[in-house]
A and B are shown apart, each in its own frame.
Chain A
Amino acid sequence: MNTIKKNIKSEKRFPKTMLAGAALAICSVANALETSQVLETYVDNTVVATYSQMGDSAMEFNRSVAELKKNPTDEAAEKAAKDWSKVRTFWERGESFLFGPAAFASLDPNLDSWPLDQSQLDILIKNIDDGSVAIDASYVRNGLGAAFRGFHAAEYLLFRDGKVRKAKDISKGELEYLAAVAQVLAEDCIALESWWIGAESLPETKAKILADAEIETSGSYAKEMKNAGKSGSRYTSETEAISEIFDGCIDIVDELVEAKLGTPAKTENPLECESHHSGSSLTDIRDNIISVRNSYEGINANGKSLSALVASKSKEADSAVKSAVGSALKSVEALKTPMFKNLKENKDGFRTAISDCEKLSQALNKAKEIAVE
């Protein structure tokens, strides 16, 4: 149990008159940070804010794809591609909190399965083009597996070889498929937001989209996390919830080490680069590290962050995480993009970036131990 929490409990236990006599003794904790405040700030300003913007941008992407389908011009394709990248950014910045609804409601696999089953997808497109398959959002939602939907299906339809496709190269069947995928992607993004904030708190336009798709969510994960340690929350203590945030961060950093950076570096196979069709592999990775920073340092946290919680116990451990985040970001930003075309050129850079991510993982593990001890 953390000492700050113990002190706060003491403060609550004694009447104010008694506390007055001990004012000096407790003045050091008068402004102490409560774990519940950290959880509240994390949930509202980092998780919910990210998912809310992701939902908004996914709706915008869906609209721009509908426009592209209606009027297939290069400009419309560029707009749709730009909007895809925007949604993608929010998703990647959410990869340090893929616990909870993203996992148990299968939204992570449905939105971001990798690799894409390109050969089967090509057959499907051919069948749409020759009229043997009629595709719509319902078909994608209920009839297609995770390898045929989500970000990477949309990416494959909009980008090739790291560039936005020309409108004339996109078949009618592809446009129909893209429109269906974009709609389901928006539904899934909104569903994720709804699982967190609770269906009753969802803005009307978003609620209607879920209702039309017959998607229901239950409960509010945000409430459960903020109410850690209280009745109705699956987190039996605030410490458990704090450990969840750390483990979410550690998980994505380890994935960078072993998979997103590690595998392409080891195999030098461009097909091992996630998001290689759009050439945005390094943007994904950069956003993942920003996601860790957002979880750890908070967004508009006003001193109520995980970082502050760790610093209250060990300034050294806190500085180590911040510094490791900075180094990892810097080394990833130094890599030559697009990654899939620069695997050999990035050989030394990969080594540095992987090493920096390993250090970040270690720093997070250390900080976690301190925060939950």
Chain B
Amino acid sequence: MYGLKTLTIAAPVCVWLILSSCSGNEATNSGSSPKAVFIPRKAEIIGVKHPKIPIEALKNGSGALDAKFEDIKAEFINVSCVNCHVNPGLNLELPPIKDSDGKKGPAYYLGGKAGTVFISNSKSFEQPSPAIAEAGLTSKFKQGEAIFEGNFVAAKNVPFGGLGPTYMKTSCIACHPGYGRARRTENFANEYGNGYIATVHNPDGSIAKGYTDMLQINAVKPYLPYAKGVKISWHNFVDKYGNRYPDGTPYNQGKKNEGILVYPSADIIEPLLPLPENYKVSIESTIGIYGTGLLDAIPDESIIEEYKRQQALAGPIKGVHGNWILDRKTGKKRLGKFTWHCSRATLDDGPGSNGIYNTTNVSRADKPDLYGTKEWIEKHKELGIDTSCLEKPQSPELSMEDFDNFMIWHRGLAVPAARNLDNPDVQKGRDIFYEIGCAGCHKPEWKTGYYNPFPPYSNQTIRPYTDMLMHDMGEENAGRFRTYRTPPLWGRGLMHKTAGHSDMFHDLRARDFEEAILWHFGEAEFAREIFRSLPKEKRDQLIEFLKAL
């Protein structure tokens, strides 16, 4: 097994590197000089020899003795702090890059042996996992894929029939180009490639009365959509450093968008129903589909264990788990872990199984009711549009055979193997990934439990680089909420090949890895700060590692 040298040699007690410049300063704990330092009382109580902290590191500048980790400004947190306040309890052992035969070792198998395919081209996210082929499910997988790619149409009792009465898109693939994540757009009406969903909500994030969770802007006549459209605007963002690294170079140096970061906002166009005075519209992007079956196989108790690890640490990372949600299939409560807000617990009740229904309003035996609201029905009655046929359970428009194949496809989409792990820059980047605290949320490794829906996915060691928990990403990223589930990083380096873009983050504000890191605020701002302070060579190495995933 490979050990991570920089971490395994780390001293058991943090050393605040920044204090080296303050080492001669004998300021008292309660001193107010900018150069004054203090040691947190709690460290002394528990007998930890804690390095001195400059007073100027405090957000409020007072109460130093009782200061907690969250009182420290992100820019004062450095790699030594990460060792004691982010990484403890994480498995820092790195899997071998080569196996005993000299072939590609476990480090490459991001989706475990059962779920990894070795492919690096435009079809990288579209492959059946080895377990699907071994189980003889390839044909059903392909039939399910046809459901994902097909266009639903308004007529009933025809192939792909049953679209509407309202809908967002006519197909699943419209929002998942290359089977991955959507790309950014200025035009919400774009059918293909644009994977934004819009929510109309109150300031607390609850959906505005009368609107559906996913705003529907299309309708089959004579019905009316909830709104005519969504206006997306993009705004420049300049951070407190003027979008420059400490070495003076601008962010995105040498790119078309040198020195520029942008983020979107949204508003509703011609809403059908009245809106509260303080309504907001937020947009969120689709998430990749590949590997979700393996994420589904992570035991709830393992996620809770990781949650407890984070909560127990005196540090910046405090992930929150999803709610316990009743699973209709088993009658048991399961932990929410899918979607940006962990609002879905299992894949069978997950974003895909709901998405094909919510997006198209195509009913099926287990989803017989209209995806709509009573306020929408009432509005139509008010306008003299007959809705009587919509107010009762709908006859199935998608057969359960088709849906079952769709779920085989969904569950069986493989994870592409990592690449170039023997490249020295990639290896250095991997070390930096741990050193600066990325692994605190982007938890590299999980072991799947027994997975009843598809037993071959049981007991797999997978490396998705997510903790399956939600984190506060700061006011800078506030949308419907400020918290977002840590997105997996596996396969991200292939986005450009699979879909011709590398747009990332909850609303696709990041155009590549560099921008994505620079949009880390809130709990993750410390990692952004350490990244900023790295020399360019090391920043590039970290990105090379991410590209290799």
Closest-CB distance, B108 to chain A (whole angstroms): 15
* Inter-subunit contact A243/B121 (CB<8 Å): yes
Closest-CB distance, B225 to chain A (whole angstroms): 13
Per-position contact with B for A72-107: 1 when CB-CB < 8 Å, else 0?
A: 000000000000000000000000000111011110
Q: Check: A240 CB closer than 8 A to any chain B CB.
A: yes
* Inter-subunit contact B158/A115 (CB<8 Å): yes
| Stretch from A52-60, A251-259, A277-285, A293-301 at the B interface | A251-259
Number of interface residues of A (CB under 8 A): 41
Which residues of A lie under 8 Å from residue B542 when comparing CB positions?
Answer: none
Partner of B193, one of A106, A142, A147: A106
Closest-CB distance, B433 to chain A (whole angstroms): 21
Which A residue's beta carbon lies closest to that of B194?
A106
Partner of A113, one of B122, B151, B499, B501: B151
Q: Check: B50 CB closer than 8 A to any chain A CB.
A: no
Q: Check: B43 CB closer than 8 A to any chain A CB.
A: no
* Inter-subunit contact A110/B192 (CB<8 Å): yes
Partner of B177, one of A103, A110, A258, A272: A103
* Inter-subunit contact B154/A120 (CB<8 Å): yes
Per-position contact with A for B383-398: 1 when CB-CB < 8 Å, else 0?
A: 0000000000000000
Which A residues between 95 and 152 are near B, CB-CB below 8 angstroms? Answer: 99-101, 103-106, 109-110, 113-120, 123, 142-143, 145-147
Q: Which of A117, A240, A241 has the most CB of B within 10 A?
A: A117
Which residues of B lie under 8 Å from residue A143 when comparing CB positions?
Answer: 189
* Inter-subunit contact A119/B154 (CB<8 Å): yes
Closest-CB distance, B33 to chain A (whole angstroms): 52
Instruction: Please give 10 more A-B residue pairs, beta carbons under 8 A apart, in addition to A106-B191, A146-B192, A236-B419.
Output: A99-B122, A103-B178, A116-B153, A117-B155, A117-B163, A118-B158, A235-B121, A247-B122, A258-B145, A263-B146
Partner of A104, one of B143, B177, B191, B220: B177
* Inter-subunit contact B146/A258 (CB<8 Å): yes
Which residues of B lie under 8 Å from residue A269 when comparing CB positions?
Answer: 159
Could you tell me the distance between the alpha carbons of A100 and B220 in the complex, rounded to whole angstroms? 33
* Inter-subunit contact A251/B155 (CB<8 Å): no
Partner of B121, one of A99, A105, A119, A145: A99
Please tell me the size bucket of the interface on B: 35 or more
Could you tell me the distance between the alpha carbons of A120 and B221 in the complex, rounded to whole angstroms? 8
* Inter-subunit contact B221/A123 (CB<8 Å): yes
Which B residue's beta carbon lies closest to that of A98?
B122
* Inter-subunit contact B191/A146 (CB<8 Å): yes
Closest-CB distance, B439 to chain A (whole angstroms): 26
Looking at chain A's contact residues, is the secondary structure mostly helix, strand, loop, or mixed?
helix
* Inter-subunit contact A105/B500 (CB<8 Å): yes
Jot down 22 A-B pairs with beta carbons below 8 A, ordered by A. A99-B123, A100-B500, A104-B500, A104-B501, A106-B191, A109-B171, A109-B191, A115-B153, A115-B159, A117-B155, A117-B170, A118-B158, A143-B189, A146-B170, A147-B151, A147-B153, A241-B121, A243-B120, A243-B121, A258-B142, A258-B145, A263-B159
Interface residues of B (CB under 8 A from A): 119-123, 139, 142-143, 145-146, 150-151, 153-155, 158-160, 163, 170-171, 173-174, 177-178, 189, 191-193, 218, 220-221, 419, 496-497, 499-501
Which residues of A lie under 8 Å from residue B191 when comparing CB positions?
Answer: 106, 109, 145-146
Given contacts A104-B501, A146-B191, contact A258 B122 (CB under 8 A): no
Given contacts A118-B153, A146-B191, contact A259 B500 (CB under 8 A): no
Given contacts A115-B153, A243-B121, contact A104 B142 (CB under 8 A): no
* Inter-subunit contact B155/A118 (CB<8 Å): yes
Partner of A234, one of B163, B174, B497: B497
Partner of A119, one of B155, B170, B177, B419: B155
Q: Check: A244 CB closer than 8 A to any chain B CB.
A: yes
* Inter-subunit contact B193/A115 (CB<8 Å): no
Q: Check: A271 CB closer than 8 A to any chain B CB.
A: yes
Which A residue's beta carbon lies closest to that of B221?
A123
Could you tell me the distance between the alpha carbons of A271 and B189 in the complex, rounded to whole angstroms? 29
